[in-house]
Amino acid sequence: MSAIPDLARFFDPLALALVFGGSLLAALLRGGWSVLGQAFASLRIVFAADPEADALAATVAIGRVEAIAEAKGIVCADRVATTGRFLREAIRRLADAGSGDVFARWAGEALDARGRRHAAVAAFWQDMADAAPAMGMIATVLGLVRMFAGMDDPSKIGAPMATALIATLWGIVVANLLAGPVADRLARLSDAELAWQRRVLDHFAALARIERDHARGVQHVLHQRLAS
């Protein structure tokens, strides 16, 4: 039971407020309020995301779309049921696209937008990681100032010194065990996700172009027959 009070000493409210609050404020000043909600929502993705499973599901969806496009045309591609909002949106856009160029234009814009959102969220956590040690040092300096101000009373030295040391500790913890690893994990997940999404969109764009070329060929043959 004696271990519980010992652990409680590491949760100094002032040190925690200065380190977490200061790091969060620094990240907000750099990234803006708009990314705050996405940044904390991304914590679920850090633990739940499985890009390999998503890529496998995308491969299956490509096969189904290719089969139905060959049999009935890409206009019927939206009959393919699949999981994942991105895949559903891509299939719907493919079915509604008037040409391969139209779909390719949307695909490029969609990937660019997703990449910017991913980068902004990862940068938020990286900004927190960068700021945390400095916030810990600021809290340490404040604790030392309080300690030196109370040197005439030995009973007032312990608490400020503890705050000073614990603040440095929490700055290191936040940077190296929380915000930094989250930022790195999100960056790797983003690379993996954008890679399979780019493959899907390139394949769908190719299907749209093939169907358009086929339609032009059929139209050309009909014109020739009518002209003769």
User: Does 221 fall in a domain?
Assistant: no
Dist. CA 90–CA 88, nearest whole Å: 5
Q: Does the residue 95 lie in any domain?
A: yes
The verdict on residue 195 lying in a domain is yes
Does residue 160 sit within a domain? yes
Nearest Cα to 95, choosing from 84, 106, 109? Answer: 106
Question: Does residue 17 fall inside a structural domain?
Answer: yes
Contacts of 18 (CB under 8 A, 6+ apart): 135, 136, 138, 139, 142, 167
CA distances (Å), origin 85, targets 12, 14, 54, 82, 89:
43, 43, 11, 9, 6
Domain count, the chain: 1
Q: What is the pLDDT tens value at each position of the chain, 228 positions in all?
A: 445 556 777 787 888 888 999 999 999 999 889 899 999 999 999 988 898 888 898 888 888 888 887 888 788 888 888 778 888 898 888 888 777 788 888 999 999 999 999 999 999 999 999 999 999 998 888 888 877 777 777 777 777 787 788 889 999 999 999 999 999 999 999 999 999 999 999 988 888 887 765 544 333 333 444 445
Residue 110 lies inside a defined structural domain of this protein:
yes
Residue 158: CA count within 13 A, CB half-sphere: 3
117 in a domain, yes or no? yes
Determine the structural domain holding residue 131 and report its residue range: 13-25+51-213
Residue 42 lies in a domain: no
